[in-house]
């Protein structure tokens, strides 16, 4: 499985969540979004600890294609009255465009999947 580790899962890993570690260990390839890099670095976990963890990952930047797809998904969700964070929608677009499974604890991704039935998620517990 090729996975995109979302910021909530990164934070869980850094807090010692074994479930996230096992998912990463079993994955063929693992990535993080540049969005998640930002989200984790502005949080409360020590920057050095975050940077050490992130150094093992390939970082995906947001492409024009991701932005276009994300904006369309966001508008569809908004029009249906579903409030989902724009960063979560962009990360979902990144995963969809690259055939990746998102590993997350954030339930916003479940609302995105209601619109994008092909979005692959692994929901972790904390």
13-62 tens-digit pLDDT = 999 999 999 999 999 999 999 999 999 999 998 999 999 998 989 999 99
CA distances from 17 to 14, 20, 24, 79, 88 (A): 7, 6, 11, 36, 21
What is the CB neighbour count within 10 angstroms for residue 38? 12
Q: At 28, which CATH number?
A: 3.40.50.1010
Is residue 75 predicted with pLDDT exceeding 80? yes
Share of the chain above pLDDT 70, in %: 100
Per the structure, the count of domains in the chain is 1
Q: Which domain holds residue 11?
A: 2-123
Report the predicted TM-score, pTM, of the whole model to 2 decimal places. 0.95
């Amino acid at each position: 499985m090729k996975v995109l580790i979302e910021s909530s899962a990164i934070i869980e890993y850094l807090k010692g969540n074994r479930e996230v570690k096992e998912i990463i260990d079993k994955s063929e390839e693992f990535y993080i979004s540049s969005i998640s890099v930002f989200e984790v670095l502005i949080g409360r976990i020590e920057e050095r600890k975050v940077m050490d963890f992130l150094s093992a990952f390939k970082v995906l930047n947001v492409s024009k294609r991701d932005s276009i797809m994300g904006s369309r998904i966001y508008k569809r969700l908004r029009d249906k009255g579903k409030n989902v964070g724009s960063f979560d929608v962009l990360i979902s677009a990144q995963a969809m465009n690259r055939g990746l499974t998102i590993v997350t604890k954030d339930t916003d991704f479940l609302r995105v999947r209601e619109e994008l039935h092909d979005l692959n998620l692994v929901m972790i517990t904390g």
